[in-house]
Structure 1
């Protein structure tokens, strides 16, 4: 008889072991915040389907597996050839099992334009700045995975753009899970600070090497100063045995402008949380997402747009194409607080079931406490447009080719929003291949 895995106990024991190695650093305010987060994780435990926010996303298969939670990160550039994105240029940082690989990375932007460090380096160099923003936006009081991530916060990126700076080259964070020899688990924490009137583009890419299972738990906190411009892209192309839980938290100040696009090509079990707080007036935020699960993949997108101040605008569009026996979840909430008068907020989720065995669960929500607002939400789930398909066939296009063209057109509304040409072209090619083969 095999002994049941107690993943929670394993994580707590690893935290306590790491704590004994910190010496004087264990008294730092950062570590005290980690300890608080661990206490919250202990109290919360892993969520079950009895929790409303996890009703359609069961973590049982994740927490019942055994992972190496301190995996090695020895890899050469030759191993990454198959994961390269053609013509990609900019600041490209590689993280293997969470650990930064300077020998594989390229930083082209000058330090007086943007500071790009690891999370640990950022705290060592700018402890007051990190403490001002770390764990201030991503709430770990009621989210076990965010609490777990905060407790283990060490690996990841620290990005700081000072007042008025425009960062011309994008920053691409490439997170690779090396699961060639064993199951691996990694906690990634990114802190991004874009000060007043500054501008930045960031892309996060998640890939897997190997046939073993991987578990990535990532939290990215972004602070946008007054009139800041921020583009954030998240691309997931992981293995069939990959578990991914990611939380992106963005805090806006007056007149900040943000674009956030999440594209999930592959992943065995994926949960994306995107939370935006409109913490200033005249804020503008755009949220787009695309997911194309096949096989028995499970993709869950949860979004929250919190309009806390008046005169702000948000526009959200998520699209999914569901193949085979895959499962999709979309839970999107617009929250308008009492003081947030003159709010304009729109949300739309559209899904195509490309297989009769695919399942899509949607839950759009509006919670409004102000009376002078314009808000709408809606969701549709259905089959391919047979009339449009018949039209293409009548013009001599074979049925399978016509279906692929309609799917590409459906996806393009999201992909075209990506302003880094190499990533956009890579996605267009990957999507074309996927819709043409499944």
Structure 2
């Protein structure tokens, strides 16, 4: 990325810095300024970096993005929201083109002391809770630095001790403006023995390319139980880059479910730090690519202390001339005795032109552990196809049924019925002969 290509970013930052949420907070102004300086130093990653060797993001740096919506608050996407709502009675926050849309959102009855709202509101009402997560965190790469400099809105969930919100809360991000770069920043702070489930959903209806560059941070205190699900349904020409950082304290449990269906190019990084004894994380994912889509998922789970458990299951379906990337890394530190970790990545190639690069990794520096990892890449089983064909099922339906069964394994790991129903709908839409499969199931 040349110096001249940085100029539009500099101009946009100087123009917008005083209008972004929290601009009145001196520590936030300083954090934004330092983040932009870090972006200038790091720039966008290149394929020369080992972490990005299979994902070329040069097209993002070459686009003339704008960083604030020109549509205002009058964009009517109510029909889209109605179609996407998982539970009409549950809490939901809707963001359109990077801005919170209160009239489309719904805050249900919250337990005493709980906060659920937009980042803009949180910076007005509880800035002291956000300062440690914003001012004291060093961005990992150019995308994270850009988010830290331009973050405009997002959701914030703060749960006091023993607080429980049973119904999944839906955080819906809708993009309908071509050429717009949005930088959602989301926070979940769960205190001791609290519980909630969050569905983070990205949907695009823009006609041409746009950029979503999102960061989510989750801190689970002792005994907290957090379920986070992200569903990526961006428009077919969109770019989607996302990062999730999780800190899990003693005896806490954090589940991450990531499902990718949309965008031209997507990259998701999920880092989980098991920073307390007896903590557990379940990291599940499904990517379903077709056409010329490129989907990249990087995960990193760090076992820092004894008796922690991690379970990771990712599956990919790669069709046409699409490209999938999976890089899963589990690190067991020297003091993390009695670690129990399992990492698995299975991939199904449906075309001779489909491509997958998978790299499961274990780094173990302790001697009393139980750790396994593995990856598989294959095509549809001819024996299974023959079995279905022998029972009078058309070949196209038989193939679609096997693809459905392979991908459905990850969807079934979601506990919430409303979320599974949405994922099932998305999977059937991408599976040939969907109507016939409905008859079979």
- After TM superposition, is the score higher than 0.5? yes
The corresponding residue for 2:26 is: 28
The corresponding residue for 2:437 is: none
The corresponding residue for 2:289 is: 293
- Answer yes or no: is 1:122 the counterpart of 2:118: no
CA-to-aligned-CA distance 1:293-316 (integer Å, 9 cap, x gap): 110000000000011111100000
CA-to-aligned-CA distance 1:160-211 (integer Å, 9 cap, x gap): 01100111222100001112xx311101100110110000100111011121
Matched residues in 2 for 1:103 and 1:5: separation?
42
In 2, are the aligned partners of 1:184 and 1:214 still within 8 Å (CA)? Answer: yes
Q: What does 1:411-430 align with in structure 2 at a 5 Å threshold?
A: 411-430=407-426
Matched residues in 2 for 1:70 and 1:403: separation?
45
How many positions carry a matched residue from both structures? Answer: 431
Q: Using a 3 Å threshold, how does the CA distance of structure 1 residues 75 and 325 change in structure 2: closer, same or farther? A: same
- Answer yes or no: is 1:376 the counterpart of 2:375: no
Matched residues in 2 for 1:82 and 1:122: separation?
26
TM-superposed CA distance for 1:274, in Å, is: 0.6
In 2, are the aligned partners of 1:83 and 1:207 still within 8 Å (CA)? Answer: no
Q: What does 1:83-102 align with in structure 2 at a 5 Å threshold?
A: 83-85=83-85, 89-102=89-102
TM-superposed CA distance for 1:67, in Å, is: 1.7
CA-to-aligned-CA distance 1:333-392 (integer Å, 9 cap, x gap): 001111111111110000000111100001111111111111111111111111111111
The corresponding residue for 2:438 is: none
Scaled by the length of structure 2, the TM-score of the pair is 0.93
Q: What does 1:197-216 align with in structure 2 at a 5 Å threshold?
A: 197-216=193-212
Q: SS at 1:363's partner residue?
A: strand
In 2, are the aligned partners of 1:5 and 1:64 still within 8 Å (CA)? Answer: no
Q: Using a 3 Å threshold, how does the CA distance of structure 1 residues 88 and 420 change in structure 2: closer, same or farther? A: farther
The corresponding residue for 1:109 is: 109
Matched residues in 2 for 1:31 and 1:372: separation?
47
In 2, are the aligned partners of 1:85 and 1:423 still within 8 Å (CA)? Answer: no
In 2, are the aligned partners of 1:88 and 1:423 still within 8 Å (CA)? Answer: no
The correspondence for 1:385, drawn from 381, 401, 415, is: 381
In 2, are the aligned partners of 1:114 and 1:167 still within 8 Å (CA)? Answer: no
The corresponding residue for 1:305 is: 301
Q: Using a 3 Å threshold, how does the CA distance of structure 1 residues 20 and 76 change in structure 2: closer, same or farther? A: closer
Q: SS at 1:80's partner residue?
A: helix
Matched residues in 2 for 1:105 and 1:89: separation?
11
Matched residues in 1 for 2:4 and 2:207: separation?
23
Q: What does 1:247-266 align with in structure 2 at a 5 Å threshold?
A: 247-266=243-262
The corresponding residue for 2:224 is: 228
Matched residues in 1 for 2:186 and 2:294: separation?
25
Matched residues in 2 for 1:220 and 1:266: separation?
19
In 1, are the aligned partners of 2:22 and 2:120 still within 8 Å (CA)? Answer: no
TM-superposed CA distance for 1:136, in Å, is: 5.1
Q: SS at 1:366's partner residue?
A: strand
In 2, are the aligned partners of 1:26 and 1:32 still within 8 Å (CA)? Answer: no
Q: SS at 2:371's partner residue?
A: strand
In 1, are the aligned partners of 2:339 and 2:368 still within 8 Å (CA)? Answer: yes
In 1, are the aligned partners of 2:174 and 2:205 still within 8 Å (CA)? Answer: yes
TM-superposed CA distance for 1:253, in Å, is: 0.4
In 2, are the aligned partners of 1:109 and 1:167 still within 8 Å (CA)? Answer: no
Scaled by the length of structure 1, the TM-score of the pair is 0.94
Structure 1, unmatched stretches of 5+, are none
RMSD of Structure 2 on Structure 1 (CA)? 2.1
In 1, are the aligned partners of 2:248 and 2:273 still within 8 Å (CA)? Answer: yes
Matched residues in 1 for 2:154 and 2:20: separation?
19
